[in-house]
Structure 1
């Protein structure tokens, strides 16, 4: 028998695919409508055992990882509301609020001592 072997999807895998197939409407971080490109942020990083994902803009995703280390995300900021409450994240959210969905800008890591 030549060709690829296909396996049946488990219930959890099928549910995850169905959830992604339904177009998300808003970024879970900033709340703005999503644009043409959507990224899926692991609320608890995969390296820390996380599986649950949420739709975000690419710029929001880069900002999360530029400001917060994976260990800190897993330990203190798996809840999006807690992440939004950080001073540096709140400043970013105020700045991005009036930008169009597909807005792009360079993202830099916070320097030591910046909040």
Structure 2
């Protein structure tokens, strides 16, 4: 049996709609905090914890799935917590910087896999 999900009620104020509660389809989405490309609601977005939950982090931000996957394919959770806990810090990593130069030429909905494993 299929489970039905509630859609936002147009009669409710924004504070009570699903977009305001932080669901995956947030209404007003700005640029990706890592690559700066516009974010489009849908499967091309992920939530990223700047400090991994396993290291006690709570703050999270929407970003492109491809950017999120690249971060985790290059860095361990310990590295993220110790030195790369912000977009500015991540941009200083040589492999992430090379990736950003490449991905900025792609459309906002672009998704691909990363074949390189963490070191």
TM-score, normalization: structure 1? 0.75
Is 2:30 the partner of 1:25? yes
| 2:95 counterpart residue number | 88
Cα deviation, 1:45-65, whole Å, max 9, x if unaligned, reads: 011111000111110110000
Contact kept? 1:26, 1:55, Cα under 8 Å: no
Cα drift, residue 66 of structure 1: 0.2
| 1:41 counterpart residue number | 48
> Larger deviation: 61-70 or 35-44?
35-44
| 2:9 counterpart residue number | none
CA distance in 2 between counterparts of 1:54 and 1:19 reads 14
Contact kept? 2:33, 2:63, Cα under 8 Å: yes
Cα deviation, 1:60-83, whole Å, max 9, x if unaligned, reads: 110000011000000101121010
Give the structure with the larger helix fraction.
Answer: 1
> Larger deviation: 17-26 or 98-107?
17-26
CA distance in 1 between counterparts of 2:29 and 2:77 reads 24
TM-score, normalization: structure 2? 0.73
Backbone CA RMSD of aligned residues: 2.0
In structure 2, the gaps of 5 or more residues are: 1-15
- Structure 1 segments, 4+ long, off by >4 Å, are none
| 1:74 counterpart residue number | 81
The number of aligned residues is 97
In structure 1, the gaps of 5 or more residues are: 1-13
